[in-house]
Amino acid sequence: MLKMNNISKIYRTDLVETHALSGVNLTVDEGEFIAVTGPSGSGKTTFLNITGLLETFEEGEYILDGEDVSQLSDKHLSRLRNEKIGFIFQGFNLIADLNLYDNIEVPLIFRGINQKERKQRIEESLELVGLGSRANHYPAQLSGGQQQRVAIARALAGKPRFLLADEPTGNLDTMMARQVMELLQDINRQGTTLIMVTHDNELAQRAHRNIQILDGQVSDIAKSQLTDLAV
Ligand code: ADP
Ligand code: ADP
């Protein structure tokens, strides 16, 4: 479970202060699938980055699986992130010079997972996303949808409890977006909590619960209210 109490985030530069998040309260249960919508600049990425322990915050309390993360050292935070969180980005973020196997292996090496275990996880996760026969291929040899499936395999190989996706289908055509979405939903049905930022209301409709971010404030929103306003 994940719980945020009154979380605020301010970005400061020499001239301006941006209140990216203001007083966010949210509880996410184990196994939920939550879609996050909201206009550009409303705080969605900031929210996801704080949720995934990529960014800190100045105010409030964040409890992740029973642990109060506001008090943790950077080292402890990165360990927690590696153990519990998987990320998927709009731009896939694969390394062009590495084949699919090696792309998935890199974060596992960083985590100190032994070679035998790495091999098993890589093969399993590539199989799961339907790319078991492509381990030696390079990202450029794949379609966008396939590349995103590799990124999903890379996240899954970490065995995350929480999968955080920032516009995972934003660079894909409609057909591929649907396929990637079905894969994410399958993963969620197996028990991984899924939090996904999307501009696509049709995809957002598939979530168990929808939240909207407006000017750094988070609120629940009914599916019937998912309109083009979110764009
Ligand atoms: P993030 O910061 O999470 O990547 P943004 O909201 O900043 O998301 O949008 C990322 C990119 O998508 C930006 O280049 C933005 O202009 C573009 N974008 C924003 N809203 C839409 C939309 N409704 N449809 C398509 N592209 C969008
Ligand atoms: P979204 O993902 O909804 O487009 P973001 O979370 O990316 O929104 O941004 C929320 C607000 O915080 C925006 O006004 C953005 O310009 C600002 N912001 C985001 N990241 C930074 C940063 N590193 N430094 C300064 N301002 C930032």
Residue percentage of the chain with pLDDT more than 70: 98
What gap in Å lies between CA 109 and CA 158, rounded to an integer? Answer: 11
Tokens of 124: 């399993």
The architecture CATH gives domain 32-56+73-225: 3-Layer(aba) Sandwich (3.40)
Strand order in the sheet with 217-221: 85-89, 162-166, 193-197, 33-37, 209-214, 217-221
Q: Return the ligand number nearest the Cα of 90.
A: 1
Atom of ligand 2 nearest to the CA of 21: 10
Nearest CA to ligand 1 atom 18: 40
pLDDT tens digits, one per residue of 83-106: 999 999 999 999 999 999 999 999
Cα-trace Rg, the chain: 18
**Contact 166 CB / ligand 1 (< 6 Å):** yes
Nearest CA to ligand 2 atom 24: 11
Tokens of 132: 């078991």
Answer whether residue 151 shows pLDDT above 70. Answer: yes
Q: pLDDT averaged over the chain? A: 94
Q: Which residue, among 35, 52, 32, has the nearest Cα to 210 in the 3D structure?
A: 35
* Site of tokens 């939550």: 34
Residue percentage of the chain with pLDDT more than 90: 90
Pocket test for ligand 1, best of 9, 18, 40, 212 (most atoms within 8 A of CB): 40
What gap in Å lies between CA 162 and CA 69, rounded to an integer? Answer: 15
At residue 42, φ and ψ (nearest 5 deg) are -80, -15
Element (H, E) at 170: none
pLDDT of residue 223: 85
Q: Which residue, among 46, 51, 9, has the nearest Cα to 28 in the 3D structure?
A: 51
Nearest CA to ligand 2 atom 12: 20
Question: How many angstroms is it from 40 CA to the middle of ligand 1?
Answer: 6
Contact in structure between 42 and 59 (CB atoms under 8 Å): no
Q: Return the ligand number nearest the Cα of 22.
A: 2
Nearest CA to ligand 1 atom 7: 40
- Show me where the domains of the chain are located: 32-56+73-225
